[in-house]
Amino acid sequence: MESSVSRRKFLRLSSLAGAGLALGFYFPAAAKAATIINGTDAAALGVELNSWIFIDPSGKVTLMCHRAEMGQGVYQSLAQIIAEELEVNLDEVNIQFAKGDKKYGNQVTGGSSTVSGSYKNLLKLGATAREMLIAAAAAKWSVPASECYAEGGKVIHKPTGNKYHYGELAEAASKLEAPKEVKLKPVSEYKLVRKPLPRQDLKMKTNGTAVFGLDFEVPGMLYAQVERSPRWHGVVKSFNEAEVLQVPGVKKVVKVKMSVHDKYREGLAVVADNLWSAMKGRKALKVVWDDSGFEHVNSADILKRQEEALKTKQGISAKKQGDPDAVLAKATKKLDLIYQTPYQAHAAMEPLNCVAHYHGDKIEIWGPIQAPDWVQDHISKQMNVPREKVIVNMTFLGGGFGRKAFTDYPHEAVLISKEIGAPVQVVWSREDDMTQGPFRPGVSYRCEAALTNGAIDAVRIKMAGQDLSNWMRPDKKSANWGTTEGFADPYFKTIQNISFTDIPFETPIPPLWWRSVYASTNGFAYESFMDELALAAGKDPMAFRRQYLDDERMHKLIDKLVEVSGWNTRKKKGGYGVAIVESFGSTVGQVVKVSKPAGGKLKVDKVWAVIDCGWYVNPDTIRAQVEGAIVMALGAATQHAMTFKDGKAELTNFHNYPVTRISETPPIEVHIMDNDANAGGVGEPGLPPLAPALANAIFDLTGKRIRKLPINLATV
Amino acid sequence: MAVIQFTLNGKAQSIDVDPEMPLLWAIRNTVGLKGTKYGCGMAMCGACTVHFNGQPTRSCSLPMSAVAGSSITTIEGISEDTTHAVQRAWIEEQVAQCGYCQSGQIMSAVALLKNNPNPSDADIDAAMAGNICRCGTYPRIRSAIKKAAQLTASAAK
C-alpha cells in the first residue's frame, strides 16, 4: 500500500508547468505517523506526506517544497531526497514552495519532522517516477526496460547508448500504470543523499533577493501597525481616533480582535497607504485599556507558586513503572531537588508580519508561515469561508522557532483586510513581537531519587508549568503530553521504579512551543539531575550515563563523545560537563568546557556535540543546525529570560532581552553518527543538552550547582 | 515631505519623503530595494546595516534628513552577480540558514575587510558584535570572513 501509486491518484497538472506537461504523484498516508509538534497527535492532523515532481518538455524538473523553510534547510533536503531516486542533478532542478493544500498532507513544519516524517515516501516517489520514465523510453525504443537505466535526467539504453531526456518522456510516462513495487538504492550507492551539497537557497540569501514575508507586496496593498493590549486580555475603553486620522497617509483606525488559543486579543490597527505613516499614526495613538477581570501576573510569583504546587499538589500521573513512591518512602539515601526554567520569547530575526486579502468568498494570505494547513483550518472556521477558498502562500521565513506555526497573526491580518476592503500587510514591531507572546512557558521540576550503593532505586519527577498544548486538547484533564520528552528512552529500561507527574498550572500568559518544545526545559532539569545522581553515586558522570543508557546506539554515541572531547584524559575539576538528551527521535550528547580567569567572568571555551539522527540527508545542514541550536541555547541558558510585571511582559527589544552575539560564541565541534536507523529530527535536538551540560561544567569547575536558568556567568 | 537627493548604489536618487523617515523604510518601501531588513528599529541587531559614506550604519536609525547628499550602498550594490569576495566566501562556507540577517552581516563584513584585510578572531568579534543572528551562524561567519580575506589577498597577487 505504502509503495504503490494508484492510477486514480496519479494526477497530471498543467497549470504549474505552463505549456509543459507536468508529472505529478500523489502518495497516501505513510504507515508510520510523523513526529509532529506534540509528538503524539499525528492522526489528528490528517494524512502524512506526499509531494510533487514536474517535468516540462525541455526536461526541466521542478520539485515542490511542501514545508516551510525557516533556516533548517528543508528547501534543500527534500529536493535532495527526491532527486536521488529520480536520478536528476540537484543543481538542474527548480525548487518551489507549495501552497497550503490537503493534497500535500501534513504541512506543519514543526517537531523536527520534515525529513524524518517524509523521507521514505519521497524516496519511493522519486523511484516510482524514474521507473515510469524508464518504461516510457523502453516502449519508444521497443526494448526491454531491463536494458535501460536512468542518470542525470536522461534514460539511457545500455546496449546502443541511445538517450532520451526526461522532457521527451514525461507525457508518455504519465500515462503508464505506476509500478507497485520499486527498488530503492542501498545507502552505499547514494550520489546526493549523505553528501554535504551546497544549499540551493543560499545564493539568494547572500545577495538580498530571497523573498521573506516582510518583503512581499501585492498591488493596492495598505499597511497596518497594531497597538494590542499590553496586558493580554485587556479591552479598549477609549482612544483618540480624530488625532490619529490627522497623520498624513493614515486612512483608518480599526478595532481588531484576533484569536489567541481559546481567547481573543484586542487591538487597534492604524491603516495607512505606507508603512511609515502607519508607524507615525500608531505613535499618535492614545488608548485607554480596561484591564479588569483577570490576574496581572508577576514572574516572581509564578516561580513561587510553581514551587509550592510541586510540594503540595497531587497532580496527574503521566507515566509510571514499578512503585517509586514505596521505594522513596523507605529510602535512606535520597535526593529531592527543584529545578526552574524561565519563560522565553522566540525573537526570530524577522518580526511577525502577514499580507492578507479578504475577497468575501475567498481569502488570500502571503507570509512567513510555518503551518499553512493550520492557517487554512483556522481562518476557514473563524471567517466562515470554505477551507479550499483560503489560499495560503509561503515565503521564506526569517526564523520561526515555533512562533510562526501559530495562527493568530494571519487571522488578525484577514480581519483588518475585511474591515478596510483592501489587501493589507500587518507589520509587527520588534516590541510587538517580543511582548505579545505567546511565550515558551517557564517550568519548575521537583526531582527525587533513592540510591543504594551507587545505584538508582527509584526516580520520581513532578513538573509544574503551563501546558503549551492545553488549548489543543478537548478534555484539558489528562496529563501534559510532554513530561517525559527529553528523557532518553533507555533510562526506562534501567530505572525500574520511576514516575512522571504533571501538576497543572495556569496563568493568563499565552503559552506556545519554542524550539525543541518540552525538551527545551525538561532537558535542563533531567540531565542536571542525572549529573547530581552520578555524583551522589560516586560515579563519573559519563560512565554513569553509559551504565543507565544501556543501548547500543547510545553507547556508540557516548564512545564518540568521549573520544572527541578528550573526556577520559581531561583534568579533574577542569570545567567539563556532559548532557545527553533524546528528542524528536534523535539523540544529542554535548560536552561543554568552561574556565574562569582569576577575577574574571566565567567563559565557555568549547562545545563538542555528537548527534545520532539515524538515516540522514545532508551532513553540512545537520552540522549547521546543531551549531545554531547550541548558539541559541547558550543565550537562553546565560542571557535572556522573559519576565512579567503587573501583567505585562517587561522586556521589549534586544537591549533588554540580550541574545547570543558572535563575541559570546565559543568554538563548536559537531559530529554525526553514521547509521541507517529510522531518521530522527535535526532542527531541534541540538538545543536541549547545552544548558545542563553547561551547568554541569560549572559545577565541575566551581563546585557551585545551578538549578535555575538563566545562569549569570558574571557572578558564578 | 521634502525632496532628498543622495547616491544609492552608485546612482543618483531623488525621493520625496518625510525627512524623519528612517533610511531603512525609504530604501525598502519608497525605492523598493528589499534586501536590507528590519530587525529591531533601534540599532541593536544590525539587520538593516548599509554603508553610509562607506561606514557600516544602521539604516533603521538614520533619518532621511541626514542622508541628503550622502552615498549609500546596500546589499544590492556590492556586486551585480553575487561575486564580491565576501559573498563568494559566504556561499563557500554555507553561512546562511534562514538568511534574514545575512544582508546586514555581509555589509558589516565588507566594511571590516575594507579597513582590515586580515582580521583576527578578536577583530572579527569586535566588528561583527552588532549583528545578531538568531539561527546562530556565527562560527561560519568567522570562517567566511577569513576565507574572504584569503580570496581578496589571492586576487590582489
Query: Which domains are present in chain B?
Result: 2-74 (3.10.20.30), 85-156 (1.10.150.120)
* pLDDT of A1 above 70: no
Report the C-alpha gap between A234 and A228 in whole angstroms.
9
What residue of A is the nearest CA neighbor of B40?
A430
> 3-state DSSP call for residue A612?
strand
Q: What CA–CA distance (Å, rounded) separates A119 from A465? A: 35
Q: What confidence score (pLDDT) does residue A655 get?
A: 97
* Range in A169-173, A450-454, A703-707 with the lowest mean pLDDT: A169-173
The single residue listed with the C-alpha cell 574562569 is: A596
Share of chain A above pLDDT 70, in %: 92
Summarize pLDDT for A638-652 with one digit per residue, the tens. Answer: 999 999 999 999 999
By CA distance, what is A400's nearest residue in B? B98
The side-by-side arrangement of strands in the sheet containing B2-8 is: B11-17, B2-8, B71-73, B49-52, B55-58
Task: Please answer whether residues A364 and A439 qualify as being in contact, where contact means their C-beta atoms are separated by less than 8 angstroms.
Answer: no
Return the higher-pLDDT residue of A347 and A32: A347
Report chain A residues whose CB lies below 8 A from the CB of B28. 215
Q: In chain A, how many H helices and how many E strands?
A: 16, 26
How far apart CA A123 and CA A440 sit, in angstroms, is 35
pLDDT of residue A33: 24
Residues of chain B with pLDDT under 70: none
Q: Do B132 and A212 touch (CB under 8 A)?
A: no
Top CATH class, A213-293+352-427: alpha beta
- In chain B, what residues touch A351 (CB-CB under 8 Å)? 38-39
In this prediction, residue B20 carries a pLDDT of 96
pLDDT of residue A15: 27
- For residue A328 the three cell numbers come to 522513596
Q: Which residue of A has its CA nearest to B86?
A: A206
Measured CA to CA, the distance from residue A513 to residue A467 in angstroms comes to: 9
Q: d(Cα B29, Cα B31) in Å, to the nearest integer? A: 6
Confidence of residue A121 (pLDDT cuts 50, 70, 90): confident
Residue of A nearest to B98 (CA): A71
Whether residue A509 lies within 8 A of chain B, CB to CB, comes out as: no
Domain ranges of chain A: 42-189, 213-293+352-427, 313-343+439-702
What residue of A is the nearest CA neighbor of B126? A663
CATH architecture of structural domain A42-189:
2-Layer Sandwich (3.30)
ipTM above 0.90, yes or no: yes
Does the pLDDT at position A293 exceed 70? yes
All residues of chain B having their beta carbon less than 8 Å from the beta carbon of residue A400 are 98
Hey, what amino acid is at A425? Q
CA atoms within 13 A on the CB side of A644: 29
Q: Which chain B residues have a beta carbon less than 8 Å from that of A71? A: 96-99, 135
What's the pLDDT tens digit per position in B58-97? 999 999 999 999 999 999 999 999 999 999 999 999 999 9
| Strand order across the A353-358 sheet | A250-260, A263-272, A222-228, A424-427, A353-358, A363-367, A390-394
Position B129: which residue type? Answer: A
Q: What is the pLDDT of residue A20?
A: 31
For residue A374, the model assigns a pLDDT of 94
Which of A218, A349, A427 should we substitute to test contact with B (largest number of B Cβ atoms within 10 Å)?
A: A349
Euclidean distance between CA atoms B1 and B8, whole angstroms: 20
Lookup result for grid cell 550503593? A453
Q: Which of B30, B45, B82 has the CB atom closest to A654's CB atom?
A: B45
B29 part of contact set with chain A, CB < 8 Å: yes
Contact B139/A667, CB-based, under 8 Å? yes
A510 near A232, Cβ under 8 Å? yes
The band of A6, judged by pLDDT with boundaries at 50, 70 and 90, is very low
Cβ separation A347–B33 shorter than 8 A: no
- Distance (Å, whole) CA A633 – CA A297: 26
pLDDT at A180: 84
User: Which CATH architecture best describes the domain A313-343+439-702?
Assistant: 2-Layer Sandwich (3.30)
Within 69-98 of B, beta carbons closer than 8 Å to A belong to 74-76, 79, 82, 87, 90-91, 94-98
* Peptide bond connecting A351 to the previous residue in cis, omega within 30 degrees of 0: no
pLDDT at A653 over 50: yes
- The DSSP bridge pattern shows strands A668-672 and A603-612 to be parallel
Per DSSP, helices labelled H in chain B are 23-25, 64-67, 85-92, 102-115, 121-128, 138-156
Of B33, B99, B129, the CB nearest to A205: B99
User: Which of A67, A206, A366 should one mutate to test binding to chain B, selecting the residue with the greatest count of B CBs within 10 A?
Assistant: A206
Q: Tens digits of per-residue pLDDT, A606-645?
A: 999 999 999 999 999 999 999 999 999 999 999 999 999 9
- The pairing of strands A576-583 and A648-649 is unpaired
Q: Decide if B4 touches A, using CB distance below 8 A.
A: no
Report whether pLDDT(A548) > 90.
yes
Instruction: Calculate how close chain A gets to B57, using CA atoms only, in Å.
Output: 17
Task: Tell me what the mean pLDDT of segment A402-411 comes to.
Answer: 97
Q: How much is the CA Rg of chain B, to the nearest whole Å?
A: 15
Question: Is there a shared CATH topology between the A42-189 domain and the A213-293+352-427 domain?
Answer: yes
pLDDT reading at A398 higher than 90: yes
Check CB contact under 8 Å for A202 and B44.
no
Question: Counting Cβ atoms within 10 Å, is residue A505 exposed (0-12), middle (13-18) or buried (19+)?
Answer: buried
Contacts of B74 in chain A (CB under 8 A): 208
- pLDDT of A35 higher than 80: no
pLDDT band for position A686 (cuts 50, 70, 90): very high
Q: Is the pLDDT reported for residue A17 higher than 50?
A: no
Contact B37 A276 (CB under 8 A): no
